[in-house]
Amino acid sequence: MVRFKVPKPISGGLLLTYQCTSECRHCMYACSSKWNGDWISQKDLEIVLSLLSGRIRPSPRGNQSVGLNYGLHFTGGEPFLNFDLLLKAVVIADELRIPSTFVETNCYWCRKDGDTRERLQLLKETGLKGILISVNPFYAEYIPFERTKRCIRISREVFGEDMMVYQLEYYHRFEQLGITQRISLEDYLELTNKEDLTQKVELFLMGRAAHQLKGFYSPYPAQRFFDELCRPQFLRDWHNHFDNYGNFMPGYCGGISLGHWRNLNSLVTDGIDLDKYPVLSFLIANDIRGLLNFAHDFGYHESPEGYVSKCHLCLDLRTYLVSKAEFQELKPKEFYAHVSP
Ligand code: SF4
Ligand code: SF4
């Protein structure tokens, strides 16, 4: 029996739901309003936060401050769709003294100054340490930029330096272009150029992006990716994700589960029995060629169009395998239904 110990998580994100107001073309977790409206239960919130408390490390600026890859963030989907649950999560995390907590939002809810300030103030008073505000052309297709700007302005008043914008480059570019409302990706690219998406700013070609943005990148045959490492996205101790269905996801790898987070202690001490999880076994060994051969045995044929990234190939293989058999490590199942175009 081959066992693999999961690295002990020191930071990460807790998906309260996969429900979202948007359906961004780059979403790693394929979130949208089309998912079942499942949210993490209060009982599970207490369990997962208890398991993480004592493990999560603070930002280098201390427990009361935040950093992108430090502490614990509440995310989704869009966490402000269930503000009461978000508040509950903050209360529990604060009671458990989890450091450097922040919320990630697409700002859909920031319609008026008063309401925006009230909610942010309440979160801060309840124990939340900061906020991460999402800005890029994919969010801008759904969220009027004036709401994003309102959220940034008021969050700065409430959280000071613990207001983070991801990605600031786009914030400045939208300002320069005088954008205030929603804008389609095609209209945005008319104002700028394709390189704006493909060269200048970090973008992971995984999840929904692998399908929806592939037209912007050159495709390659599968063998081009045989020697690429998954790390740092896969199997690391920082910035992993835990979802409302119990899945402990490596890094940003939507649709892959290292196991139920309820078993976190045994996952990090006893490890995973890789004989039971063939897909994990290939991915942990960084052997995408092995996974491709495994999928061939189930009847998979390589796409004649090629793949734009290793994660695109990986996603295509996993989506195919899910359609052919039951793999406990390929969860949640709904992800595979929503990730395809
Ligand atoms: S990227 Fe964020 S805002 Fe966009 S669909 Fe995914 S969770 Fe929603
Ligand atoms: S290739 Fe697969 S396992 Fe590796 S980082 Fe990409 S999505 Fe994750």
Which pLDDT tens digit goes with each residue over 152-170?
999 999 999 999 999 999 9
Ligand 1 atom index nearest CA of 106: 3
Q: Please check whether residue 288 lies inside any domain of the structure.
A: no
The two three-digit tokens of residue 19, written as one number: 């429900």
Least confident of 91-100, 265-274, 281-290, 329-338: 281-290
Between the CA of 319 and the centroid of ligand 2 the distance, in Å, is 13
Distance from C-alpha of 152 to C-alpha of 158, rounded to nearest angstrom: 10
- To the nearest whole percent, how much of the chain has pLDDT over 70? 98
* 232 has pLDDT over 70: no
Q: Give me the CATH number covering residue 261.
A: 3.20.20
Ligand 2 atom index nearest CA of 230: 4
* 123 has pLDDT over 70: yes
Q: Please check whether residue 68 lies inside any domain of the structure.
A: yes
Residue among 203, 253, 315 to mutate when testing ligand 2 (max atoms within 8 A of CB): 253
Q: Please check whether residue 158 lies inside any domain of the structure.
A: yes
User: Per-residue pLDDT averaged across 62-66, rounded?
Assistant: 97
- To the nearest whole percent, how much of the chain has pLDDT over 90? 90
User: Per-residue pLDDT averaged across 68-84, rounded?
Assistant: 97
* 138 has pLDDT over 70: yes
Q: For residue 195, what pLDDT is reported? A: 73
If one counts the domains in the chain, the total is: 1
Q: How confident is the model at residue 30 (pLDDT cuts 50, 70, 90)?
A: very high
Between the CA of 108 and the centroid of ligand 2 the distance, in Å, is 30
Ligand 2 is surrounded, with C-beta below 6 A, by 206, 230, 233-234, 253, 283, 310-311, 314
Q: For residue 68, what pLDDT is reported? A: 93
Look-up: residue for tokens 């076994």?
281
The pTM of the full predicted model, rounded to 2 decimals, is: 0.96
Quick: pLDDT tens for 257-271.
999 999 999 999 999
Q: For residue 152, what pLDDT is reported? A: 98
Quick: pLDDT tens for 41-53.
999 999 999 999 9
Between the CA of 19 and the centroid of ligand 1 the distance, in Å, is 9
User: Per-residue pLDDT averaged across 203-227, rounded?
Assistant: 94
Q: Please check whether residue 330 lies inside any domain of the structure.
A: no
Domain that holds residue 17: 7-216+236-269
Residue among 314, 319, 327 to mutate when testing ligand 2 (max atoms within 8 A of CB): 314
Residue among 208, 227, 233, 336 to mutate when testing ligand 2 (max atoms within 8 A of CB): 233
Ligand 1 is surrounded, with C-beta below 6 A, by 20, 22-24, 27, 31-32, 76-78, 106, 134, 139
Q: How confident is the model at residue 235 (pLDDT cuts 50, 70, 90)?
A: confident
Residue among 310, 312, 316 to mutate when testing ligand 2 (max atoms within 8 A of CB): 310
User: Per-residue pLDDT averaged across 184-193, rounded?
Assistant: 91
Q: How confident is the model at residue 286 (pLDDT cuts 50, 70, 90)?
A: confident
How far does Cα 206 stand from its chain's mean position? 10
Nearest C-alpha to atom 8 of ligand 2 is from which residue? 253
Between the CA of 234 and the centroid of ligand 2 the distance, in Å, is 6
User: Per-residue pLDDT averaged across 105-133, rounded?
Assistant: 98
Q: Please check whether residue 279 lies inside any domain of the structure.
A: no
Nearest C-alpha to atom 6 of ligand 1 is from which residue? 27
Nearest C-alpha to atom 1 of ligand 2 is from which residue? 311
Q: Please check whether residue 308 lies inside any domain of the structure.
A: no
Q: Please check whether residue 340 lies inside any domain of the structure.
A: no
Q: Please check whether residue 15 lies inside any domain of the structure.
A: yes
Distance from C-alpha of 302 to C-alpha of 313, rounded to nearest angstrom: 9
Ligand nearest to the CA of 30: 1
